[in-house]
Amino acid sequence: MNTNKGFGFLFEMGTGKTLTSIATMGEMYRMGVIERVLVVAPTSVCPVWPNDIGDYADFRYKTAVLTGTKDRRLKELEALKSYPLKALKVAVINYESVWREGLFEALQEYDADLIIADESQRIKTHDAQQSKAMHQLGDKARYKLILSGTPVQNNAIDIYSQYRFLDSSVFGTNYYAFRGKYAIMGGFNKKQIIGYRDLDNLIKKEYSIAYRVTKDEALDLPEQTFLTRNIPLEGKEKALYQKIKRDSYAELENGGQITAPTVLTKLLRLQQFTGGFIQPDEGAKPEYVFEGKIQALEDIIDDYVIGEGKKLVIFCRFRPEIDLITKLIQKKKLGFQSIYGDVKIEDRGPIVDDFQKNPKTMIFLAQIDTAGLGITLTAADTCVYYSANFNYAAYSQSLARIHRIGQRNTCTYIHLVVEHTVDAEIYKALARKEDLANAVVNDWRRLFED
């Protein structure tokens, strides 16, 4: 029997599960019980970890985010292992990579004292490759944490695989025995779960090694919480972005008088790229060149809308982004409404009403310039900014769509930011309550330099 120690932080989004985990690993490091940590997370969440550790850790640490090719990941892990100074070593990798040949063996050899499964519902399927790999890694680790807003997604049966990783003494190591105890089978050949039994006992066991925090319980939360999902830009995509930036610099340098509109036009092209597309000429069909941001949004939809059953508002700037996000939502078979420039004004009121009142309409998708003013979207308390415009007033007004009379919950805003790109400059200006357009003429070179 696996007697290794595990615990669950079952915190809703925005209530501090990452911060709590960092504090936990720091205290365990000070106590001398851990030296190596492995964090396994969704791809879009991996860059969040080194940033948050940098912001909050008051202990010596060394982090490595294992991305890119297999060889690069292995070199990063080896460099972390051989780091010569006394420090807590933290490796971060995405779920899809843990079971890959070569990487799985290297992670076993890394021999983490503590493994953290962030958004642990990603291993809810007991016989998936990444779940089985996590079970094996967990069996070897001395300590384990699962972090999730909802460890049970669509079915109570989802809890088994996560707790198989966390502590197999709670629900055992046999999935079919677990299913036989808690699930009522029916349908064709009695292979479908049609109900559950003894759920009070299941929940009691679940919380025997877990702690739940909801937004309602987190009384010290501010009324508005701002989060950032940093998205890496690497390889061919990074090279293409840098080329666009260099070409823009050269055109501005050699184009005579610098005006705000000319600079903003160049920044617009860079922002379109981070949203996923380039559009050389107005009216031309957009070419999709970068998937990082849409993948990050998919992670949020999976974890928050599908996982927690909560409604979500998504703001973006460009029409091709609306089309791209619409395809993603349709793939997920979720009810949604959208408002953008082509939607008639007289149709917008019923669209908002449907989102506010229809429990099956889970997502409101809108262009920030079109729907960022004058409407109420308090059916949601969480909003994602896929992209924002350069105008602080428009951004400030859009924040108030969910944070207004009728809202009973803390509001959470998630900014999707492609690292080392124009995205970061936009949100820095908005955080200063500035319009980027007012600053670009005198400072334009900095925005386009490598």
Does 103 map to a domain? Answer: yes
347 lies in the same domain as 207: no
Q: Give the model's confidence band at 345: pLDDT under 50 very low, under 70 low, under 90 confident, else very high.
A: confident
Give the highest mean pLDDT range of 1-10, 199-208, 357-366: 357-366
Q: What is the pLDDT of residues 367-422, one digit of tens each?
A: 998 887 778 899 999 999 999 988 888 898 899 899 887 888 889 999 999 999 99
425 lies in the same domain as 314: yes
DSSP state of 439: T
186 lies in the same domain as 300: no
- Report the DSSP beta bridge partners of residue 10: 212
Please give the pLDDT value at position 83: 95
Q: Give the model's confidence band at 1: pLDDT under 50 very low, under 70 low, under 90 confident, else very high.
A: very low
Please give the pLDDT value at position 259: 84
Q: How far apart are CA 361 and CA 112, in angstroms?
A: 43
The two structure tokens encoding residue 260: 């705000």
CATH number for 333: 3.40.50.300
Nearest Cα residue to 156 out of 122, 124, 186, 188: 124
Q: Where are the alpha helices (DSSP H) in 401-439?
A: 422-431
* 299 exposure class (CB count in 10 Å sphere: 0-12, 13-18, 19+): middle
Q: Give the model's confidence band at 143: pLDDT under 50 very low, under 70 low, under 90 confident, else very high.
A: very high
Does 164 map to a domain? Answer: yes
Count of alpha carbons within 13 Å of 430, Cβ hemisphere only? 22
Residue type, 278: I
Q: Decide which of 182, 213, 244 is a domain's last residue.
A: 213
The two structure tokens encoding residue 104: 């799985």
Please name the helix (run of DSSP H) or strand (run of DSSP E) that holds residue 353, with its range, or none: helix 345-357
Does 301 map to a domain? Answer: yes
Between 27 and 15, residue with greater pLDDT? 27
Does 257 map to a domain? Answer: no
159 lies in the same domain as 301: no
Give Cα 403 distance to the centre of its chain.
22
The radius of gyration of the chain from alpha carbons, rounded to an integer in Å, stands at 23
Q: What is the pLDDT of residues 147-176, one digit of tens each?
A: 988 766 557 888 999 999 999 999 999 999
Q: Where are the alpha helices (DSSP H) in 183-332?
A: 199-206, 235-253, 260-275, 292-300, 307-308, 319-331
Instruction: For 124-134, give one letter per residue: b (16+ CB within 10 A) or e.
Output: bebeeebbbbb
CATH number for 129: 3.40.50.10810
3 state SS of 388: coil
Does 55 map to a domain? Answer: yes
pLDDT at 288 over 80: yes
Q: Region 259-280: what's the mean pLDDT?
A: 90
Contact present, 264 and 426 (Cβ < 8 Å): no
Angle between helices 440-448 and 235-253 (to 10 degrees): 140
Q: Region 116-130: what's the mean pLDDT?
A: 93
pLDDT at 435 over 90: no
Q: What phi and psi, each to the nearest 5 degrees, are found at residue 385?
A: -100, 100
Q: Give the model's confidence band at 2: pLDDT under 50 very low, under 70 low, under 90 confident, else very high.
A: very low
3 state SS of 356: helix
3 state SS of 81: helix
pLDDT at 339 over 50: yes
Does 218 map to a domain? Answer: no
Sign for the pseudo-dihedral over CA of 164, 165, 169, 170: negative
Q: Region 90-115: what's the mean pLDDT?
A: 96
* 58 exposure class (CB count in 10 Å sphere: 0-12, 13-18, 19+): exposed
Q: How far apart are CA 145 and CA 209, in angstroms?
A: 10
**161 CB neighbour count, 10 Å cutoff:** 26
Lowest mean pLDDT segment, chosen from 37-51, 140-154, 267-281, 411-425: 140-154
68 lies in the same domain as 195: yes
Q: Decide which of 157, 183, 213 is a domain's last residue.
A: 213
Does 258 map to a domain? Answer: no
Sign for the pseudo-dihedral over CA of 107, 109, 115, 120: positive
Number of domains comprising the chain? 2
Sign for the pseudo-dihedral over CA of 335, 339, 342, 345: positive
DSSP-assigned letters across all residues of 103-158: HHHHHHHH--SEEEEETGGGG-STTSHHHHHHHHHHHH-SEEEEE-S-S--SSGGG
pLDDT at 277 over 50: yes
410 lies in the same domain as 313: yes
Does 260 map to a domain? Answer: no
Sequence-distant (≥ 6) Cβ neighbours of residue 400 within 8 angstroms: none
Interior CA angle at 423 toward 291 and 91, to 5°?
A: 65
Q: How far apart are CA 150 and CA 132, in angstroms?
A: 20
Q: What is the pLDDT of residues 204-216, one digit of tens each?
A: 999 999 998 887 7
Of all residues in the chain, the percent with pLDDT exceeding 90 is 63
Which structural domain range is residue 38 located in? 5-213
70 lies in the same domain as 198: yes
For the entire predicted model, the pTM comes to 0.77
